[in-house]
């Protein structure tokens, strides 16, 4: 099984190499990893006290970020090493100020794992959500370096919990993890069925992150002026299937203003989205606070990094991705106590499932469902008020996961 595992890794790397001349992300994935060992060897000193935090991509970084922030404040003697698997995490967060070292994680071969752990010599390690790199985990275990899985979530479909070929071999990885901070009772129960009891149900650390963003109260003058006194729908991290439904609805229903913040902000995508409307569309990078931005009904965001602050102006949010690999961060919007809509692929996201159960979020699969929910929410002030109250209580109840992790790991 180990041979198959490593063959799979090398095949993945080979495919990435082959397509790298034609694919920007594959190129970044390959070229970035070539620099990791040289980068670390030039910076890390033998006497550094290092905490290593690994994230697959940007979403996992947002879960790990509150932990980094808390550790830096309470334990400044540690240096933070932040690693990413995906370019969509590294390329956006490679200048993150609170991490002392930021790099790609080398491919999970035995040679790389031994070299990396020897060079980094971390005191403690945090893997976020569901990263299970066998060779790194085994190497950490052999050196008795504690590994914590944070904001972890498990489901019965994972190989760990099946009786298929290879499942018992792969399951051994879990027994080398020092402690599991899981999001829900199901995850704790599943781990218990295979004999793992070193768990704590903490929820999702992203609640702490979105609460921090909301508390900072960042203002965006152009967004504020654009909205004026109108109701505003914000479509965040939208993909083309989302945008197709949304544009059809808002071409016919003009009671509200709309902001699109597409997942892909490349020029071709912005042009295509703009061309979906027959009326004038405002592009954020071309907007000026001194001009008549308030006269437009549709605004398209053609940059990254401000979506979480845009949601504070919304009356209703639509979160994209639910017609593809899965929805994006619903909590960024929900922290502002507003109803949230998204596509059908949300069941793997515990926070979205919980929001739906509370009557705060509304999944849609068709244009008819989208219309029914939007029409109801836009015209029903009483319902909006009730959602605001439920949303506030739900968010406040779930804040505090980061502190639970810090207290357990550092014995506070």
**How many angstroms from the chain centroid is the CA of residue 346?**
13
CATH homologous superfamily of 218-395 equals: Glycogen Phosphorylase B; (3.40.50.2000)
With 90 as the cut, is the pLDDT of residue 357 above it? yes
Give the Cα separation of 342 and 50 in Å (integer).
39
Q: What angle do CA 220, 92, 111 make, to 5 degrees?
A: 160
Instruction: Select, from the ranges 26-35, 144-153, 217-226, 262-271, the one with the highest average predicted confidence (pLDDT).
Output: 144-153
Whether domain 2-212+400-410 has CATH 3.40.50.11720: the reply is: yes
* Percent of the chain whose predicted confidence (pLDDT) is above 90: 78
- Tens digits of residue pLDDT in 111-128: 999 999 999 999 999 999
Query: So where are the chain's domains?
Result: 2-212+400-410, 218-395
Q: Which residues are paired to 17 by β-bridges?
A: none
Are 186 and 45 contacting, i.e. CB atoms less than 8 angstroms apart? Answer: no
Predicted confidence at residue 127, as pLDDT, reads 97
Give the Cα separation of 383 and 289 in Å (integer).
33
| Band of pLDDT at residue 9, cut at 50, 70 and 90 | confident
Give the Cα separation of 58 and 290 in Å (integer).
34
Distances (CA, A) of 144 to 52, 123, 198, 411: 14, 10, 16, 18
Residue closest to 323 by CA, chosen among 369, 359, 281, 354: 369
- Give the chain's mean pLDDT: 93
Distances (CA, A) of 376 to 144, 220, 334, 355: 57, 28, 18, 18
What tokens appear for 7 in the block? 């063959």
Q: What is the DSSP letter of 263?
A: S
Give the dihedral sign, CA 261/266/271/272.
negative
Instruction: Please name the residue ranges forming H helices in 162-266.
Output: 167-171, 185-193, 206-216, 221-227, 240-252
Q: Which residues are paired to 194 by β-bridges?
A: none
Predicted confidence at residue 412, as pLDDT, reads 62
Predicted confidence at residue 63, as pLDDT, reads 92
Length, in residues, of the chain: 412
| Band of pLDDT at residue 352, cut at 50, 70 and 90 | very high
Neighbours of 87 (CB within 10 A): 21
Q: What are phi and psi of 110, to 5 degrees?
A: -60, -40
Predicted confidence at residue 170, as pLDDT, reads 85
With 90 as the cut, is the pLDDT of residue 58 above it? no
Give the Cα separation of 144 and 152 in Å (integer).
21
| Band of pLDDT at residue 213, cut at 50, 70 and 90 | confident
Are 183 and 153 contacting, i.e. CB atoms less than 8 angstroms apart? Answer: yes
| Band of pLDDT at residue 273, cut at 50, 70 and 90 | very high
> Is there a common fold for 2-212+400-410 and 218-395?
yes
**How many angstroms from the chain centroid is the CA of residue 257?**
27
- Tens digits of residue pLDDT in 224-255: 999 999 999 999 999 999 999 999 999 998 88
- Quick check: helix, strand or coil at residue 105? coil
Are 256 and 231 contacting, i.e. CB atoms less than 8 angstroms apart? Answer: yes
Residue closest to 352 by CA, chosen among 382, 322, 390, 389: 322
Q: Which residues are paired to 236 by β-bridges?
A: 261, 319
Give the Cα separation of 348 and 326 in Å (integer).
8
Predicted confidence at residue 29, as pLDDT, reads 86
Mean pLDDT of the region 327-345? 95
DSSP 285-350: GG--TTS-GGG-SEEE--SSS-HHHHGGG-SEEEE--TTTT----SHHHHTTS--EEE-S--TT-H
| Band of pLDDT at residue 7, cut at 50, 70 and 90 | confident
């Amino acid at each position: 099984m180990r041979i198959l595992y490593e063959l799979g890794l090398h095949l993945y790397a080979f495919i990435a190499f082959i397509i790298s001349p034609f694919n920007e992300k594959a190129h970044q994935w390959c070229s970035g990893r070539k620099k990791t060992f040289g980068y670390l060897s030039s910076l890390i000193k033998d006497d550094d006290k290092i905490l290593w935090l690994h994230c697959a991509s940007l979403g996992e970084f947002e879960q790990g970020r509150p932990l980094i922030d808390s550790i830096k404040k309470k334990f400044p003697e540690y240096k933070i090493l932040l690693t990413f698997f995906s370019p969509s995490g590294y390329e956006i967060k490679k200048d993150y100020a609170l991490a002392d070292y930021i790099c790609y994680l080398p491919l999970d071969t035995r040679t790389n794992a031994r070299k990396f752990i020897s060079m980094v010599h971390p005191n403690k390690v945090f893997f976020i959500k569901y990263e299970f790199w066998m060779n790194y985990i085994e190497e950490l275990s052999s050196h008795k370096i504690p590994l914590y899985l944070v904001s972890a979530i498990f489901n019965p479909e994972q190989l760990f919990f099946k009786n298929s070929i290879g499942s018992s071999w792969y399951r051994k990885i879990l027994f080398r993890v020092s402690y599991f901070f899981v999001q829900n009772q199901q995850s704790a129960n599943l781990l218990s069925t295979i004999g793992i009891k070193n768990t704590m149900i903490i929820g999702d650390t992203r609640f702490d992150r979105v609460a921090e963003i909301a508390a900072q109260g960042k203002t965006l003058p152009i967004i504020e002026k654009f909205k004026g006194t109108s109701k505003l729908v914000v479509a965040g991290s939208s993909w083309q299937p989302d945008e197709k439904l949304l544009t059809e609805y808002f071409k016919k229903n003009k009671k509200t203003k709309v902001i699109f913040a597409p997942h892909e902000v490349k020029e071709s995508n912005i042009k295509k989205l703009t061309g979906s409307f027959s009326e004038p569309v405002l592009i954020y990078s071309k907007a000026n606070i001194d001009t008549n931005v308030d006269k437009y009904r549709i605004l398209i965001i053609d940059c990254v990094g401000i979506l979480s602050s845009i949601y504070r102006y919304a009356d209703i949010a639509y979160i994209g991705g639910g017609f593809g690999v899965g929805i994006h961060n619903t909590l960024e919007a929900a922290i502002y106590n507003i109803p949230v809509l998204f596509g059908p692929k949300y069941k793997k996201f515990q926070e979205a499932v919980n929001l739906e159960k509370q009557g705060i979020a509304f999944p849609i699969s068709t244009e008819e469902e989208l219309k029914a929910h939007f029409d109801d929410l836009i015209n029903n002030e009483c319902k909006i008020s009730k959602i605001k109250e439920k949303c506030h209580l739900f968010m406040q109840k779930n804040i505090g996961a980061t502190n639970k992790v810090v207290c357990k790991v550092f014995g506070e």
